[in-house]
């Protein structure tokens, strides 16, 4: 039976308000369907502008089967290409980060300029049409210091999300920040379990002693009703919007992304609750207690932006029960380690939290691998965010199955 039909059978067997049918968390064919209809079709967050500040700087990312390279051109623009040589297909850039005058394939040294044009191919004789053998482009956009790519030949609208995200992020100057530290961990769990775990804090008190020092375990913060009924959150938004920091809860009509600035129990994600970095990040120095600007954009990223630093998270599936989570800590570009911040203090809360979440997700996956698993009820008070994610996933898959645009159509 085709994967599409099996997805629809699983969808029809789904119990409302319950975790997903087992096969959606482990089946290789349904995993491929997730890749093809979501990860190869949607805009994905891949990294930051400030990681490639100079001409020729690049970073690479692997999205399912597709190696991609993102490079800063002579004109300052950021472009993305399929990282596969037009000679015999070798991957060209293998480093995660690098800098090059030209992108040179290590196999036979075909070389491409920073706009992807083939510039050198030794002894190919005549006639040889270089123009037809440039690197295949990948759609690429940058907004407020966050770089996004889309593998589809006909990418879905990006402008609406850009219009939503840019005002919230503009004061924070992420495009001119620097990555102080990054970590990639592999979680032995389906990518949807990583997201489900992220979208609730029902598990936070028993599992995250470090995070709970400043992140409130309040369902209004993680939920999907926007915290509108919470007077403390409403007052927080009023104060910050008057100070020029867009803060109110904004949820995309299709549920794909959410923006909101939520109060913390302190200033930052540190053990003391104080700032980890002496220099403010962006233009927020005058305003105390700005909390955390939260952004998720399914299926690839969630984010926290604080007054002194930002933390970005990138989720990329690498197998039916394996997911890579990359975390980056961003600080002011001029902040000096050991002077303006201590790296351990900056990173310890989320390094601990990520590892705790990894264990949670892995235990969740092991339990679901049991044939005895059956979908259980989500908690109505604390797990509204999980229901919102699952509803988005099922809706997005249904739309993709009904829409030819959802198919991977690589140029």
Which partner in ligand FES, Fe ion, none is near 278 (CB below 5 to 8 A by kind)?
none
Least spacing, CB of residue 197 vs Fe ion, in Å = 6
Least spacing, CB of residue 85 vs ligand FES, in Å = 3
18 binds ligand FES (CB under 6 A): no
Which partner in Fe ion, ligand FES, none is near 357 (CB below 5 to 8 A by kind)?
Fe ion
Least spacing, CB of residue 87 vs ligand FES, in Å = 3
Residues 229-248 that bind ligand FES (CB under 6 A): none
Give the whole-angstrom CA distance, residue 42 versus residue 257. 12
Which residue's CB is nearer to Fe ion, number 121 or number 349? 349
Give the whole-angstrom CA distance, residue 369 versus residue 392. 23
Residue window 101-120: x/- pattern of binding to ligand FES, with contact defined by CB under 6 A: ----x-xx-x----------
Conformational region of residue 255, where left means phi above 0, alpha means psi within -120 to 50, and beta covers everything else: left
Which partner in ligand FES, Fe ion, none is near 267 (CB below 5 to 8 A by kind)?
none
Which residue's CB is nearer to ligand FES, number 89 or number 163? 89
Concatenate the DSSP letters of all residues of 282-320 into one string: SS-TT-S---EEEEEETTTEEEEE-SS-EEEEEEEEEET
Which residue's CB is nearer to ligand FES, number 20 or number 85? 85
Which residue's CB is nearer to ligand FES, number 75 or number 123? 123
Give the whole-angstrom CA distance, residue 128 versus residue 175. 41
Neighbour tally for 398: CB within 10 Å: 15
Q: Could you give the 3-state DSSP secondary structure of residue 243?
A: coil
Which residue's CB is nearer to ligand FES, number 60 or number 365? 60
- Under 8 Å between Cβ of 329 and 350: yes
Which residue's CB is nearer to ligand FES, number 44 or number 105? 105
Q: Which residue has the tokens 């994600």?
A: 269
Residues 77-106 that bind ligand FES (CB under 6 A): 85, 87-90, 105
Concatenate the DSSP letters of all residues of 347-403 into one string: HHHHHHHHHHHHHHHHHHHHHHHSTT----BPPTTT-HHHHHHHHHHHHHHHHHHH-
Q: For Fe ion, which residue of 42, 49, 182, 357 counts as binding (CB under 5 A)? A: 357
Least spacing, CB of residue 108 vs ligand FES, in Å = 3
Site size with ligand FES, rule: CB under 6 A: 9
Q: Looking at the chain, how many residues does it have?
A: 411
């Amino acid at each position: 039976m085709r994967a599409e039909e099996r997805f629809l059978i699983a969808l029809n067997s789904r119990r409302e308000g319950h975790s997903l049918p087992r096969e959606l968390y482990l089946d290789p064919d349904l995993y491929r369907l997730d890749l093809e209809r979501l990860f190869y079709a949607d805009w994905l967050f891949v990294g930051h502008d400030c990681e490639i500040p100079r001409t020729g700087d690049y970073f690479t990312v692997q999205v399912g089967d597709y190696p991609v390279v993102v490079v800063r051109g002579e004109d300052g623009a950021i472009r993305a290409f399929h990282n596969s040589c037009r000679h015999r297909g070798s991957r060209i850039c293998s480093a995660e980060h690098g800098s090059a005058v030209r992108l040179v394939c290590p196999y036979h040294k075909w070389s491409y300029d920073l706009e992807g044009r083939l510039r050198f191919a030794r002894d190919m004789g005549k006639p040889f049409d270089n123009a037809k053998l440039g690197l295949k482009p990948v759609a690429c956009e940058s907004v407020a210091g966050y770089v996004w790519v889309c593998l589809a030949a006909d990418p879905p609208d990006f402008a609406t999300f850009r219009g939503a995200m840019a005002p919230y992020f503009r004061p924070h100057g992420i495009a001119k920040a620097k990555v102080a530290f990054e970590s990639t961990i592999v979680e032995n769990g389906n990518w949807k379990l990583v997201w489900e775990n992220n979208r609730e804090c029902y598990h936070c008190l028993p599992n995250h002693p470090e995070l709970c020092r400043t992140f409130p375990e309040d369902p209004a913060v993680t939920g999907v009703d926007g915290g509108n009924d919470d007077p403390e959150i409403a007052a927080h938004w009023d104060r910050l919007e008057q100070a020029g920091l867009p803060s109110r809860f904004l949820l995309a009509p299709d549920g794909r992304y959410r923006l909101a600035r939520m109060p913390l129990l302190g200033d930052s994600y540190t053990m003391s609750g104080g700032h980890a970095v002496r220099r403010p990040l962006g233009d927020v120095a005058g305003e105390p207690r700005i909390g955390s600007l939260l952004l998720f954009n399914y299926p690839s990223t969630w984010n926290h932006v604080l007054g002194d630093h930002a933390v970005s998270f990138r989720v990329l599936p690498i197998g039916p029960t394996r997911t890579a989570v990359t975390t980056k800590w961003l600080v002011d570009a001029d902040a000096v380690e050991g002077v303006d911040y201590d790296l351990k203090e900056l990173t310890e809360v989320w390094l601990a939290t990520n590892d705790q979440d990894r264990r949670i997700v892995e235990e969740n996956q092991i339990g679901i691998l049991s044939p005895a698993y059956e979908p259980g009820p989500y908690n109505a008070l604390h797990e509204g965010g999980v229901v919102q994610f699952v509803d988005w996933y099922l809706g997005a898959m249904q739309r993709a199955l009904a829409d030819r645009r959802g198919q991977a159509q690589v140029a």
